[in-house]
Amino acid sequence: MSGVLVILEQRSGTWNRMSFEAVAAAQQLAEKTNLPLTLAAPAGKDFSADGFEAHGRAPSAAYLVEHELLEPYTSDAYVIALEQLIKKLGPAYVLFPHTYQVRDFAPALATRFKQVLISDVIAIHDGPVFVRQLLQGKLNADYRQTASGPCFISIQAGSFRAETESGTTVTPETFTPELTPAQIRNKPGERFRESGQTVDLTAAPVIVSVGRGIGEQDNLPLVEELAQALGAELAASRPICDNGWLPMERQVGSSGQTVSPKLYLAVGISGAIQHLVGMKGSKAVIAINKDENAPIFEVADYGVAGDLFEIVPELTKAIKAAKG
Ligand SMILES: Cc1cc2nc3c(=O)[nH]c(=O)nc-3n(C[C@H](O)[C@H](O)[C@H](O)COP(=O)(O)OP(=O)(O)OC[C@H]3O[C@@H](n4cnc5c(N)ncnc54)[C@H](O)[C@@H]3O)c2cc1C
């Protein structure tokens, strides 16, 4: 068994950004274990798509796993195809971004190898030891593989920074698994993001997040307008969702979504630990809070200590003016 294999996620030629974070984690693991790094993209169209080269990761090999039965996505097809790829490559570690799709198929894939999936890993230490959070982020637990066979790991959004550029481009090989329609028992339904009811905040590059400082539901249009002006997704702290002011799928935090946007704008959010664990991977954090001692300012790159009801309308106006 040798090598670190990363399974990336690409849909219709567009990368899920969490794939790059999984590659960053895999690079770290490859360095610690002195093993080569290999990339694979099931149903992938092209490795140079959507800026992958700009995020070059110095892999030693890459595979586009191609078969007409891999689209639309089904867990059966992914499990069968990736089982064949893993048997061919014999990696010691198989890493995934912890996306909704990965949650669906990766545990079954691990089971094919009599392994478990060590899910939602936030750090990798020497050993290697994989760290994941328990009890809503109150405890960190260390996991080490003791069984033989490939070790399956999914990487929590925002835990690894995907920004080191190696300048290396990768020429992928094609791997065509053996798949027949009779092997696929699942019938794909509507995609999660396309349901109109739900939102995948993990892929949003800009998020405006609102907290209890907004006071009441009737004030929400203030932040909705700001989000719209910025082209951002709207998110919230837990009390906002608990109150039913925004749907639960917009909650960020230990019992909500974990996000890693380029910009996270926290409006009237105090910065409780349960909220911070869900957004600490953001590249830049701006906080608006009238309490200059609010804990959110400890993780903020830019802080505005003031009343959101004065600041947000001015900010929205300025953004609209700047955008013409
Ligand atoms: C098991 C468990 C799981 C949890 N999971 C989550 C989770 O997933 N996500 C989450 O967010 N929380 C979670 N919580 C709740 C968490 O502990 C906090 O209670 C919550 O994050 C607080 O939300 P908030 O910051 O919006 O509200 P508050 O803590 O009430 O903060 C409101 C902030 O707004 C500021 N403010 C008030 N008025 C204004 C104004 N006019 N202008 C500017 N600023 C103003 C205040 O100074 C204050 O800092 C969890 C708690 C538990 C126990």
For the segment 295-317, what is each residue's pLDDT rounded down to a tens digit?
999 899 999 999 999 999 999 99
Residues 144 and 174 in one domain: yes
Q: Please tell me the predicted confidence (pLDDT) of residue 138.
A: 66
| Residue 245, both tokens | 């002011």
Residues 161 and 254 in one domain: no
Residues 176 and 209 in one domain: no
Residues 191 and 319 in one domain: no
Domain containing 136 — which CATH number? 3.40.50.620
* Ligand 1 cavity residues, CB under 6 Å: 136, 211-213, 237-239, 251-256, 268-270, 272, 274-275, 278, 288-291, 294, 307-309
Q: Please tell me the predicted confidence (pLDDT) of residue 16.
A: 81
By most ligand atoms within 8 Å of CB, the mutation choice from 156, 237, 290 for ligand 1 is: 237
Residues 246 and 143 in one domain: no
| Residue 62, both tokens | 């890459």
Rounded to the nearest angstrom, the distance between the alpha carbon of 272 and the centre of ligand 1 is 6
For the segment 197-244, what is each residue's pLDDT rounded down to a tens digit?
467 788 899 999 999 999 999 999 999 999 999 999 999 999 999 999
Sheet holding 93-97, edge to edge: 139-143, 129-134, 117-125, 151-155, 93-97, 4-7, 37-42, 61-65, 173-175
For the segment 241-258, what is each residue's pLDDT rounded down to a tens digit?
999 999 988 999 877 888
Domain count, the chain: 2
Q: Which domain holds residue 272?
A: 201-323
Share of the chain above pLDDT 70, in %: 91
The pTM assigned to this predicted structure is 0.68
Average pLDDT over the chain, rounded to an integer = 88
| Residue 270, both tokens | 């105090």
Compute φ and ψ for 271, nearest 5 degrees.
Answer: 100, 40
For the segment 176-192, what is each residue's pLDDT rounded down to a tens digit?
999 999 999 988 887 65
Q: Please tell me the predicted confidence (pLDDT) of residue 196.
A: 41
Q: Please tell me the predicted confidence (pLDDT) of residue 13.
A: 76
Q: Which residue's C-alpha comes closest to atom 47 of ligand 1? A: 291
Beta bridge pairs of residue 135: none
Give the closest residue to 267 by CA, choosing from 320, 314, 321, 303: 303
What atom of ligand 1 comes closest to residue 291's alpha carbon? 47
Highest mean pLDDT among 5-19, 38-52, 104-118, 124-138: 104-118
